[in-house]
Structures are given as C-alpha cells and as structure tokens.
Amino acid sequence: MFKFNDKIAVAVSGGKDSLALLQILSKLKTTPPKSPLIALTVDEGIRGYRDEAIEISAEKCKELGINQHIVSFEKLFGHTLDSIVAKSRRNASSELTPCAYCGILRRRAINIAARNVGATKIVTGHTLDDEVQTVLMNFLRGDIVRLKKEKPVTDEIHPEFVQKVKPFCEVPEKETALYAYVRKINFQTTPCPYASEAYRNEARAILNRMEEKYAGTKFTVHNFIERLRPALKTLELGDSYEECSECGEPSSGGLCKVCELLEKMK
C-alpha cells in the first residue's frame, strides 16, 4: 500500500476506526519507510455532531505530534451539509439521502486537501465491514462502475486524484473498536444525526445477520470480490475523464457530480 517516500494523509473523522489507524500509523512511521503523516479532517457542517469530532481528533493529533488540516464544506463549496439537506427537503428535490450528498462532497474535499498538502496517498480507516457493505450496496444498485473502482488500493487513474489506500480492509470493525478501548483512545460515540437515513444501514444489517448465522461471511464476500478484480479490470467502464466544464476537476461527464449538486442549490 505504501512506497518508501510516500507523504501520507490520514482521513481522520474522530471515530474509533480513523483514530486507531492514526495511532498505529504514527508508530509505524518511526521505522522505515519513514513517511511523513498529516491528518485531514472534513468539517461537513453538521450541527451538534462535527464540532465534537473535530475537538476529539485535534486532541489526538496533538498527543501524537501530527499536523491536522481541517477542510470545510462551507469554505470549499459555500454550503454546509445542514444547509444542503434543509434546502433539498424544502424544495422536495431530494432524490439523494444526506449521506449521498455528504459522500460526493467529502470525496472531493479530501482529494483537494490531500493535493494541497502534497500528499501522495490518502489513507482511510475503512474496515472489513465498511468494505463488504460497499460491495453489497454497489451490487444491489447494479453499479458495476463503482464495484470496479472502489477497492482497498485505488487505481492511479488520473494525476489529479490522490491514490487511496485502506489498511484496515481486512480488519473487522469489532477489532478496531476493541483496539480503541484497550488503548484507551478517546473517540466520538455520538452518531451523526443523518446516519439513520443511510442506505448503508440495510447492507450492514444484512451482513451482520448473515455473519451471525454463518461465521466468516464478511471475509468470504471480501475474498470473492478480490478474486473477481482481475476480471473487473478488463471491463472498460468509467476509465475516461475530461475536465468538468464548471470547476475543471476531472469528471466522467461534462459537469462533475459536485457541480451538478451545487447547481441544484442555486
């Protein structure tokens, strides 16, 4: 996942997974390869939720001596997530869940922040559970392009996209939670107010039920998709990019998803 001289940007949300990852990586960097670490935190603008997470992650970064960069939706896009959700509900124009809006803008925000600090890798705390939920969601939506794209080490598809890696992709979420408790890591436990509306919840419930009944299901799904990767790679899907006509960021269509979303907010 890493090269010797990578400059690593860790996406830190203040939750158990990203803080456990930050703590582990901060230890690893003391042995070769000696890669500088930077923490990136996205402030989506979620009242009563994100402020606490920023405080907790800032404390951890200070303890570990890691620089933290905070990037906010409001500064980058001119809107908080709260205002986007409120507006889409007012106009009854919401074909997307708050998490879908959040995901589109967060991916862009993290990539811009990573580029700005000169990072060569973005590291996220996605666990085995997150990974197989994503596989199931893409499968249920019939989204073969994302099934191909979303993986533990993303392809270097465009110079403007910083490569993403997920070192916890084979670590069950229960184990990152256990690590955080054992290491007495202070993490945020307050759930996001929009979390109950997430499509992901259904995928999580199905997989947890299956895992309980048939132990090993999550690893089976993960291994299955990894074995399928060489075949997915041969499919020419979502591989070409052009500049977004509005913002100039790489886009698979004329207008990128972020600009499409911001256009609707006008």
Q: Rule CB under 6 A: which of 27-66 touch ligand SF4? A: 44
Which of 171, 167, 175 has the alpha carbon at shortest distance from 128?
Answer: 171
Number of residues that bind ligand SF4 (CB under 6 A): 9
Nearer to ligand SF4, 7 or 264 (CB): 264
Residues 6+ apart with CB under 8 A from 235: 144, 148
Could you say which of 86, 178, 195, 235 contacts ligand SF4 (CB under 6 A)? 195
Contact window for ligand SF4 (CB under 6 A) among 20-28, 66-74, 170-178, 190-198? 190-198
Which residue of 73, 161, 187, 194 would you call a contact of ligand SF4, by CB under 6 A?
A: 194
Number of other residues whose CB lies within 10 A of the CB of residue 230: 8
What's 196's DSSP letter? G
Q: Which stretch binds ligand SF4 (CB under 6 A): 60-68, 97-105, 128-136, 137-145?
A: 97-105
Which of 192, 221, 259, 261 is close enough to bind ligand SF4 by CB under 6 A?
A: 192
Nearest-approach distance from CB 95 to ligand SF4, in angstroms? 16
Taking CB under 6 A as the rule, does residue 110 contact ligand SF4?
no
**Distance between CA atoms of 100 and 231, rounded to whole angstroms?**
28
Q: Which residue lies nearer to ligand SF4 by CB, 99 or 256?
A: 99
Distance CA 44, CA 95 (A): 20
Determine whether 209 is exposed, middle or buried from the number of CB atoms within 10 Å of its CB (0-12, 13-18, 19+).
Answer: exposed
* C-alpha distances out from residue 259 to 7, 38, 223, Å: 29, 28, 36
Q: Does 102 bind ligand SF4 (CB under 6 A)?
A: yes
Q: Does 14 bind ligand SF4 (CB under 6 A)?
A: no
Q: 47 vs 233, which CB is nearer to ligand SF4?
A: 47
The crossing angle, in degrees rounded to 10, of helices 173-182 and 16-28 is 70
Residue ranges that bind ligand SF4, judged by CB under 6 A: 44, 98-99, 102-103, 192, 194-195, 198
